[in-house]
């Protein structure tokens, strides 16, 4: 896909992460469990993030069972993995939490030399700063975050965050249940970077968000699929949403639309990582290699409607996806910073400020 080329510079500028401190390593990491079970693969991933037919094909080919549990935010994923409990083989963290997981000792090397299809990945997704040499990660899918609406019920007068953050209170809306996305949207509306550490800019975002969630039109913080369903049901007029989650709903209702606000928005890459506690690492690597097959990779994107980093899969993508502007941010949008990657926050004061803003919003 053409995005694969122009994502290079942005991806190479990435660092990573959020919230988990390195000194946590060893204190909360689930210990490795019995290995080489080889009969069951357990995956922890974002909801609605893989074609069920792909899973069935892998189960049939390998004669195994695949169990998938889902999460709605990176923070929830990290909390569950650090808390122990279920021992997963694979997870799909966003780029900006990978280094946090490495520091916390949650990952083991992917050993890409064992993946015969690794060479299918587009050059722009190789050797990112958040994982030099792709030691721990294989790029899975990517997407920007936009504002969605149902044109059958509501026509936005402008493609702007002002519809939510502006002074009017006539639109029913929902925001993602994701601190970096919500705070990032407010920062972009105010003209700041989504990765800012400036106290005065974060205070301005906090005050804006306090006013926003106090509006009569504010409906909830929700996951992407939930916001899509609210738009289908007509219970909200506008929803902050990952573009892929919205486009999935267009088959059910072609009136669902999404745009990238003119002030700017966020983008992130989700990765496949092999967890240190994996009971079946060999089976997990076979699954990753299976996903990197061009036909399988394209089938996943044609189901999820998320961006695809597999060079050989591009000719197999649904033409509908190529026609969606929000699915394919332009190179100018990426290089100018209008569509900005979420990076890791410096630990310490900056992370605490983001946490305090989010806690303040969620407890109101």
Q: pLDDT tens digits for 96-121?
A: 899 999 999 999 999 999 999 999 99
What would you report as the CA-atom Rg of the chain, rounded to the nearest whole angstrom?
A: 20
Q: Distances from the Cα of 53 to the Cαs of 50, 57, 345, in angstroms?
A: 9, 6, 37
Residue pLDDT, tens place only, 208-264: 999 999 999 999 999 998 999 999 999 999 999 999 889 988 889 999 999 999 999
What CA–CA distance (Å, rounded) separates 2 from 130? 22
Q: Is the pLDDT of residue 170 over 70?
A: yes
Q: Which of 12-16, 145-149, 181-185, 311-315 is least confident?
A: 12-16
Res. 340: pLDDT tops 70 = yes
The residue with greater pLDDT, 331 or 39, is 39
Residues 6+ apart with CB under 8 A from 60: none
User: What pLDDT is attached to residue 328?
Assistant: 72
State the pLDDT at residue 18.
Answer: 30
Cβ–Cβ < 8 Å for 267, 195: no
Residue (of 87, 227, 209) closest to 149 by Cα position = 227
pLDDT digits (tens, 9 = 90+) for 1-25: 222 333 333 333 333 333 333 334 4
Alpha helices in the chain (DSSP H): 3-12, 52-62, 74-82, 98-103, 162-165, 179-189, 199-213, 224-233, 243-248, 281-291, 294-304, 319-323, 331-335, 349-362
* 242 vs 266: CA distance, rounded Å: 9
Percent of the residues in the chain that have a pLDDT greater than 70, as a whole number: 90
Q: What is the pLDDT of residue 52?
A: 97
Q: What is the pLDDT of residue 335?
A: 76
């Amino acid at each position: 896909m053409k995005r694969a080329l122009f994502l290079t510079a942005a991806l190479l500028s990435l660092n990573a992460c959020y919230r988990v401190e390195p000194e946590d390593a060893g204190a909360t990491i689930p210990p490795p469990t019995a290995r080489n079970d080889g009969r069951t693969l357990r995956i922890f991933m974002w909801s609605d993030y893989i074609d069920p037919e792909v899973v069935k094909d892998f189960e049939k080919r390998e004669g195994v069972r695949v169990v998938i549990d889902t999460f709605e935010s990176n923070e929830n994923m990290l909390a569950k993995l650090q808390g122990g409990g279920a021992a997963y083989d694979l997870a799909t963290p966003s780029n900006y939490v990978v280094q946090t997981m490495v520091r916390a000792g949650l990952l083991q090397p992917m050993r890409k030399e064992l993946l015969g299809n690794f060479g299918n990945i587009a050059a722009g997704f190789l050797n990112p700063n958040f994982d030099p040499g792709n030691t721990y990660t294989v790029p899975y899918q990517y997407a920007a975050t936009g504002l969605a609406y149902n044109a059958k019920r509501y026509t936005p007068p402008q493609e702007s965050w002002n519809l939510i953050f502006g002074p009017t209170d006539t639109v029913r809306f929902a925001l993602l249940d994701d601190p970096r996305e919500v705070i990032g949207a407010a920062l972009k509306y105010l003209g700041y970077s989504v990765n800012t550490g400036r106290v005065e800019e974060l205070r301005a975002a906090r005050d804006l968000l306090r006013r926003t969630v106090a509006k009569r039109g504010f409906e909830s913080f929700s996951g992407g699929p939930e916001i899509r369903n609210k738009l289908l049901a007509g219970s909200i007029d506008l929803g902050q949403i990952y573009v892929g989650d919205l486009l999935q709903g267009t088959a059910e209702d072609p009136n669902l639309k999404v745009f990238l606000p003119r002030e700017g928005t966020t983008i992130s890459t989700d990765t496949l990582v092999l967890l240190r506690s994996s009971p079946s690492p060999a089976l997990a690597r076979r699954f990753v290699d299976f996903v990197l097959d061009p036909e399988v990779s394209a089938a996943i994107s044609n189901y999820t409607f998320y961006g695809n980093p597999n060079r050989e899969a591009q000719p197999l993508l649904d033409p509908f996806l190529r026609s969606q502007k929000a699915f394919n941010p332009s190179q100018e949008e990426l290089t100018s910073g209008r569509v900005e990657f979420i990076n890791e926050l410096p630990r310490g004061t900056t992370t605490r400020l983001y946490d305090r803003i989010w806690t303040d919003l969620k407890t109101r």
